[in-house]
Structure 1
Amino acid sequence: MDVSQTMETEEDLLTCLRIRFYHPQQSCKGLYSLLPLGNRIKCLADESLRLGRDAQSCTFALVDSRVSRKQLTLQAYRVPEAREMLFSIQNLSQTVKVSVNGTVLDFLERADLPSKALVRFGEYEMLIIREAGEAKQSFEVVLEMLPVPPSRETCTCEPTTLPVMDTGAHLVSCQPKVQVPLENDETLMSTSLDNPPSFGVSDMP
């Protein structure tokens, strides 16, 4: 009786993965017709979630011939002495690469997912947000559609730190760094040889 009550209390706090999709042609192609958009799906923590074109072998399927039959998989895991449930992502496609916050995953390569990750494959963008819970045996998944690409709000470029006067705060700029070639002694020497100084008659000794 005590064990049953403990399990019910624990399962009340489920970790939730919010997976938000975007594709430039999603409004007219019916790409998400097989996805249970807007519903909370309860999943067992020891089973992986597969996403791809094949509705028979994948947990969630996309109606798109350009997506691999098995595109990627999400797997829950835990680390010792930590209450939080974490997730990893693995690319199952031999033809379509997957990127996670700008890091490209080739076939069978795996990466840990942070609490907020921008995942890309083909023309798809997925914003995956993890809402922490304490349950160990299961978690929830909510699939949603985004009207605009999440990459507009999620910066995956290398940040540069800009000091702010007076306050001492820092701003993160997403502008790409422009590499300007630096002149060296060799460049200066070459310039001087190509354009030797001219001397007038008055300058000659």
Structure 2
Amino acid sequence: MIITKAKPIEEILPFLEGKERIFIVGCNVCAAKMKTGGEPEVLALLDSLTSAGYNVVGWALPTAACSVRSYDSLAEKNEKINDADCVLVMGCGSGTSVIASLLDIPVTGTNDTLSLGGQIGSASVVHLCTLCGDCNIGDYSGICPNACCPKSQINGPCGGSKNGKCEVSKTSECVWYLIEKKMDSLQSLPILTKIKPPKDHSV
């Protein structure tokens, strides 16, 4: 799940300067779960813009803004998108990029894209993956230290962790404490004795 945070309206309004007809595109997957682009958020933005005197010609909520297939059905069912002179996408950077690649009018996103995370029960977990292109999460029993450690330590904890707590965020558990605890329960601690080379950032 892509983790996003809604931009304040003050950051969106400059993009609308000189634009007369606005169309809003939400995202009914990640952004909906994050409450940054589902139907309630789309309607709230529509109300805010209308109250501010902007002409919102329409809105749509495709399954996923990042899917070209979703856009095809979006355009077929929402002809008013062709009447717009700008589009606001309430999704992640990927969704905004896909919509922008298919339109000849200005497109911008209303969210900041933070990371790749997930949802465990009712809780959103923000940092689960950094999309590094050099994945070795299996070496750590499914917990990525590159994403979950503020220092991206891949060969064990730093010298600042204490009593299982992170030095950077003292209220958070050190990811290496969690890794060692899980690998101990799986009887796979010896794997951690192998030194990992630095991440290959060229990929």
Report the TM-score when normalising by structure 1.
0.21
| Larger Rg over CA atoms | 1
Question: Which has a greater percent of strand?
Answer: 1
Question: Which has a greater percent of helix?
Answer: 2
Q: Which structure is higher in RCO with an 8 Å CA cutoff and minimum separation 6?
A: 1
